[in-house]
Amino acid sequence: MPLCEAAARVEVLRREIEQHNHAYYVLDRPTIPDAEYDKLFRELQALETEHPQLLTVDSPTQRVGGKPLPEFVQVRHAVPMLSIRTETDTEPTGARAFDARVRRELGLSEADAAIDYAAELKFDGLAINLRYEDGVLIQAATRGDGETGEDVTQNIRTVQRIPLRLKGDAPPVLEVRGEIFISRPDFERYNQKQRALGRATLVNPRNGAAGSIRQLDPAMAAERPLSFYAYGLGETQGWVLPDCHSAVLDALAAFGLPVCEHRAVVQGAEGLVAFHAHIRDLRDALPFDIDGVVYKVNALALQQRLGFVTREPRWAVAHKYPAEEALTTVEAIEVQVGRTGAITPVARLAPVFVGGVTVTNATLHNEAEARRKDVRVGDTVIVRRAGDVIPEVVSVVIDKRPTKDLFGGEPLHAAFELPKTCPVCGSAVERPEDEVIARCTGGLFCPAQRKQALLHFAGRRAMDIEGLGDKLVEQLVDAAIIRTPADLYKLGLVKLANLERMAEKSATNILAAIDKSKATTLARFIFALGIRNVGEATAKDLARHFGNLDAVMRADNDRLQQVPDVGPVVAASMARFFAEPHNIEVIEQLRAAGVNWPEGESSAKLSSPLVGKTFVLTGTLPTLTRDEAKDMIEALGGKVAGSVSKKTDYVVAGAEAGSKLDKAQALGVNILDEKQFRELISP
């Protein structure tokens, strides 16, 4: 192709590729199939090879072009990169104090109007300054000491979400500031891949981001799944700035830069408080870590008036949340035996306050994880508790590991090893070749499994026997009064009341609860049996599909797999369970004891308006508990999901409904209160 024709084609290709990049990485809305994209990309590469004089630094082919550097070059920032004051009071008072301070500095009285604030997330990564000249990325620098940073342009070019060329009418000089970070899913995926290749993993997303940007070899940086959000400006030339911060961010988004959608302009202290609470509810659902939110006085003129103290602006503050990670020490490592015999190593910890609660245990998941993290007794560890998830040990602070002598050397405690026999029943512990979970082979001979199986059987969503908790099951099994669920229905008052710390009245109550549990549903009964891989949803599907227990027990592999969501694994578990004469015996005893359910309930609800509809429950309803509402919906053939999406048909909202309600409104999903919900289900 002649040069001038090639030059024109190269331009077209670059523009088109950048557009697809923007759609894919920034907007998360791919516009062409990967194969088509690859074709454009290869065509551009070929033209650039044919005509090297056409090559420019902002070509999409040049994202990973650079050679390893001997060291980073220092860059002096045209406008210093400041930091923000941190408000460590994580309560609403923290937000109110900031608003009060701003008003005082501006000389406002109570009679004056509320101040507008731009409220954003505080991303947890590494601050970066991107310098665009005439719309082209020419330099990227770290914050350094705020005056001077390091030139990391080569590495930043590898970040797909950062445009090499801005869209639209970009000013002659535009410096964009923002945060480089790694999202949680990207972090997990990257580490998993590294582990599979036997390579080093990243300790946490934050260190991963910082470490990646400070790689001298851009090829290494390119392998790291880095993300970026813009949150402010550095130097600008030839640009008439908008008059407020939120409009600056809008403008940056229009230039093709990624700007986080979770931001708002709010009024006054109470607006800040509401934003802080809103993001706290959203925090665990975000795909990346934040340690707080940032409030900025929105009007740039007011920002100017407020100015700076030392190196921090008076017009901005970071408002934190309680930490989700904390340091503590490991006092012991024990193993727990679950209902299906799964052996789980658990670290017993010195009590530590994290994520809003005191944590004393953290799961190590399984043998491989425990080995990988190499947690030992006496170690100082980072514990994480995010939202409602089970606390876990993130990593060991290896420098603090106690050693046998003062001068380092051999660790005081040995690496964790899974016991060869079950600590509860002494049966062999086995781990099939292709599985990560080791199990006690004792089955219901193992008291630990028996106890867990009984607790599961009596559970609220299974047979729902009120009052049959941990302690009582422990006593009943240890005293050999009960071996199987069927034994529960043979319990007499005398035996029960004779147990230690058992008053006659509570014994009577428990017997009444056991008696009441006899009238149940097929789905609850199947779930209560505790068949491996048969959870509540599968039990319901089975009950709905077969209508009665005999049909479920008789079903062969093929018929089982006709049930929605039942695959070979579930079918095999069921075959194994029903092939065990002991299990059949227990089922017969339960039926003989009077446990019953309406058979053939599967067709009753075919005419219900709820069949096939998906509901989401949020907030507190006036008279119904969440479980009650869920049962009502499912009894009529509807489904209950945990989060709102376009596929949600109804959101049933009560008091203090949070982000799910907001999302439902945004998506235009039908929203019902309890009264409307009741009308819907009983027209």
Please report, as ranges, the residues that interact with ligand IVH according to CB under 6 A: 82-84, 120, 122-123, 127, 179, 231-232, 294, 313, 316
Characterize 279-293 residue by residue with b for buried, 16 or more Cβ atoms within 10 angstroms of its Cβ, and e for exposed: bbebbeeeebbbbbb
By CB neighbour count within 10 A (0-12 exposed, 13-18 middle, 19+ buried), where does 399 fall? Answer: exposed
Helices (H), 214-266: 218-223, 245-254
Least distance (Å) from ligand IVH to the CB of residue 85?
Answer: 8
Question: In the complex with ligand IVH, which residue's Cβ is closer, 311 or 461?
Answer: 311
Residue 427 contacts residue 446 (beta carbons within 8 Å): yes
Least distance (Å) from ligand IVH to the CB of residue 186?
Answer: 18
Amino acid, single-letter form, for residue 298: N
Q: What are the residue numbers of the active site?
A: 122
Least distance (Å) from ligand IVH to the CB of residue 541?
Answer: 45
Least distance (Å) from ligand IVH to the CB of residue 598?
Answer: 57
- Side-chain-side CA neighbours of 558 within 13 Å: the count stands at 0
Least distance (Å) from ligand IVH to the CB of residue 207?
Answer: 14
Residue 150 contacts residue 81 (beta carbons within 8 Å): no
Least distance (Å) from ligand IVH to the CB of residue 131?
Answer: 16
Which tokens hold the place of 673?
């209160």
| Range 40-48, long-range pairs (CB < 8 A, 24+ positions) | 40/13, 40/16, 41/17, 43/9, 43/13, 44/10, 44/13, 44/14, 44/17, 47/1, 47/6, 47/9, 47/10, 47/13, 48/10
Which tokens hold the place of 583?
């299990």
Question: In the complex with ligand IVH, which residue's Cβ is closer, 290 or 570?
Answer: 290
Least distance (Å) from ligand IVH to the CB of residue 121?
Answer: 6
Residue 584 contacts residue 549 (beta carbons within 8 Å): no
Cα–Cα nearest to 291, from 389, 397, 206: 206
Least distance (Å) from ligand IVH to the CB of residue 296?
Answer: 7
User: Rounded to whole angstroms, how far apart are CA atoms 416 and 367?
Assistant: 8
Question: In the complex with ligand IVH, which residue's Cβ is closer, 120 or 392?
Answer: 120
Residue 126 contacts residue 142 (beta carbons within 8 Å): yes
Question: In the complex with ligand IVH, which residue's Cβ is closer, 294 or 453?
Answer: 294
Cα–Cα nearest to 231, from 256, 265, 264, 259: 259
Helices (H), 489-567: 493-497, 504-517, 522-528, 536-546, 549-554, 557-560
Least distance (Å) from ligand IVH to the CB of residue 98?
Answer: 14
Which tokens hold the place of 134?
């005439």
Q: Is 499 helix (H, G, I), strand (E, B) or coil?
A: coil
- Side-chain-side CA neighbours of 107 within 13 Å: the count stands at 1
Question: In the complex with ligand IVH, which residue's Cβ is closer, 127 or 130?
Answer: 127
Strands 227-237 and 136-142: unpaired
CA distances from 454 to 80, 468, 469 (A): 65, 9, 9
Question: In the complex with ligand IVH, which residue's Cβ is closer, 292 or 355?
Answer: 292
Question: In the complex with ligand IVH, which residue's Cβ is closer, 225 or 292?
Answer: 292
Residue 216 contacts residue 68 (beta carbons within 8 Å): yes
Question: In the complex with ligand IVH, which residue's Cβ is closer, 270 or 312?
Answer: 312
Residue with tokens 């420098």: 399
Least distance (Å) from ligand IVH to the CB of residue 190?
Answer: 22
Question: In the complex with ligand IVH, which residue's Cβ is closer, 179 or 367?
Answer: 179
User: Rounded to whole angstroms, how far apart are CA atoms 235 and 229?
Assistant: 18
Give φ, ψ of 648 to 5 degrees.
-70, 135
Strands 126-133 and 136-142: antiparallel
By CB neighbour count within 10 A (0-12 exposed, 13-18 middle, 19+ buried), where does 616 fall? Answer: buried
Residue with tokens 């004469």: 581
Question: In the complex with ligand IVH, which residue's Cβ is closer, 296 or 540?
Answer: 296
3-class SS letters over 331-369: EEEEEEECCCCEEEEEEEEEEEEECCEEEEEEECCCHHH
Least distance (Å) from ligand IVH to the CB of residue 182?
Answer: 14
Question: In the complex with ligand IVH, which residue's Cβ is closer, 245 or 544?
Answer: 245
